[in-house]
Amino acid sequence: MAVDPAFDMRLVAASTRDLFEDLARLMAEGALDTRFSRPESRMADEVEVYNALLPGLGELTATMFIEIGDAGQIKPVLDALQGIDTGDHVRLQIGSNVVGGEFEAGHSDEERGKLAAVHFVRFALPDVARRAFAGAEVGLTVDHPGDRGRTVLTPAARRLAEDLA
């Protein structure tokens, strides 16, 4: 979703099942190379990373990517998006229920004018929104001076409801 052709903003959500399948695939493909570290510590590190991505009870999690194709546009675009990871600039609307995203700390430094291009965000859904998720229209809205847009989740994305059960 993007207003400015200089960049594209994507939120990628994965279900708990997807995350476990990814971890299992990494292990099966040998991507968790243990030649340079103890196997148990390398595995523990990967499990710790994946645990941080898992949604808690009644939550959905996603990774927000700000993709900027032109290297000359990186600083201007990120400067224009300062503060997008604060307040309710990124939110889900589930029927009439609106849930603001809670961004993981440590990816931005407003005092120094630094904004990361990748952010981890959680949406803590109240009971009424969780119950409505499978049947209501679910929209993702970005409402920030640097970017505004809305998209509706596809039916395929409804499998995220598994994490809300």
Give the model's confidence band at 49: pLDDT under 50 very low, under 70 low, under 90 confident, else very high. Answer: low
SS3 label, residue 157: helix
Banded pLDDT at 15 (limits 50, 70, 90): low
Give 57's pLDDT tier (boundaries 50, 70, 90): confident
What gap in Å lies between CA 93 and CA 152, rounded to an integer? Answer: 9
> What is d(CA 164, CA 42) in angstroms, rounded to the nearest whole number?
30
Domains recognised in the chain with CATH numbers: 7-14+55-164 (2.60.40)
In the chain, which residue ranges form alpha helices assigned H by DSSP? 16-28, 39-53, 74-80, 127-133
Higher pLDDT, 7 or 117: 117
Query: What is the residue-averaged pLDDT of the chain?
Result: 79
Contact criterion met (CB below 8 Å) for 155 and 10? no
pLDDT at 84 over 80: yes
pLDDT at res. 1: 42
Closest CA to 117 of 74, 72, 60, 61: 74
What tokens does 137 get? 């229209």
pLDDT tier at 18 (50, 70, 90 boundaries)? Answer: low
DSSP letters spanning 59-122: EEEEEEEEEESSGGGHHHHHHHTTTTTSTTSEEEEETTEEEE-EEPTTSEEGGGTEE-SEEEEE
